[in-house]
Structure 1
Amino acid sequence: MARDAFEDIVETFEFLDDWEDRYRHVIDMGKAMDPLEESFRVPATKVEGCASQVWLVPEIEGEGPGAVFRFRGDSDAMIVRGLIAILVSLYSGLSVAEVTKVDAPAELKRLGLDEHLSSQRSNGLRAMIERIRLLAEKAAA
């Protein structure tokens, strides 16, 4: 179910043998994202459960289960910005109904993130995934 953009990341990670190279790639992905405007850095968009400051802003086109899900995000930590970029590649462009069916832990396991993130980062990643699912569920209703 993963999108082409996510599959590209999987292929890049397979090419990069060393985890430090993969880590740098994640950071570079975060640097390539446009920053989130200050007006969106508000409590309503903040993700609780992350050690870093994280904001996710949904951009849903249409209504009901077929609505297209997109989101933008930002963080004060470069590695977390990269994790947001990975989640954007995994979810953006799917219907809100499809978002709720993505097995994010299984998809992210393909990148080896489960083995190389600190427990705090892993908890933050789970919190971001949960927020994305909740936003999609709300939009699908």
Structure 2
Amino acid sequence: MSIHEKIAQLKEYFSVLPGWEEKYAYIISLGKSLSPLADEYKTDEYLVRGCQSNVWLRSYEQDGNVCFEADSDALITKGIVALLLFVVSGHSNEDIRDTDFSFLDDIGLKSHLSMARANGLQAMIDRITHV
């Protein structure tokens, strides 16, 4: 599935969820579905600077594409990084750099985050797009 198709799928799913309680529950469930990140990657090298909570993000190449693993010590933050990774993991560097993250505005996520979490979200996007 292409990045555009994944974004369209997320937009559709968020549009049918009735309210932000359900949307947050969905985001948290995405985080819970992430495979655990090995402790060897929970170091300063993989720590995303600028996040309110600890977020570790590891990238690696597989079959010519960039794949990501991540973890966080906060449920909502782990869900947000899982949402981002759903969209970009397994795609080329070029496709990841060209990703239009304005879909986060379209689904209303940015407007429902505190300033600190919104800054953390941008830090995650910056890290993902500069691998």
TM, length-normalised to structure 2:
0.92
1:12: which partner in 2? 13
* Residue identity opposite 2:96 in structure 1: V
Distance 1:3 1:69, change over 3 A: farther
Distance 1:70 1:85 in 2: 12
Q: Which amino acid aligns with 1:107?
A: F
1:93, distance to aligned residue in structure 2 (A): 2.0
CA deviation map 1:29-78 (0-9, x unaligned) = 1111111111110111000000100000002135xxxx311101000000
**Aligned residue number for residue 3 of structure 2:** 2
Q: C-alpha separation between the residues in 1 aligned to 2:7 and 2:81?
A: 12
TM normalised by structure 1 equals 0.86
Aligned partner of residue 59 in structure 2, secondary structure: strand
Aligned counterparts, 1:49-128, within 5 A = 49-61=50-62, 67-104=64-101, 106-128=102-124
The residue number in structure 2 matching 1:27 is 28
Paired letter, 1:36: L
Aligned 8 A contact 1:27 1:82 in 2: yes
Please give the alpha-carbon distance, in whole angstroms, between the structure 2 residues aligned to 1:5 and 1:99.
12
> Aligned residue pairs: how many?
130
> How far apart are 1:10 and its partner, in Å?
1.8
Equivalents in 2 of 1:108, 1:36: separation in Å? 25
* Distance in 1 (alpha carbons) for counterparts of 2:34 and 2:62: 21
Query: Shift in Å at residue 103 of structure 1?
Result: 1.7
Q: Shift of the alpha carbon at 1:4?
A: 3.3
Identity score, percent: 35
Structure 2 unmatched runs, 5+: none
Q: Which amino acid aligns with 2:117?
A: R
Q: Give the secondary structure class of the aligned counterpart of 2:3.
A: coil
**Could you say which residue in structure 2 is the equivalent of 1:139?**
none
In 1, the alpha carbon distance for the partners of 2:112 and 2:49 equals 22
> Deviation of residue 3 (structure 1)?
4.1
Once superposed, what is the RMSD of the aligned Cα atoms?
Answer: 1.4
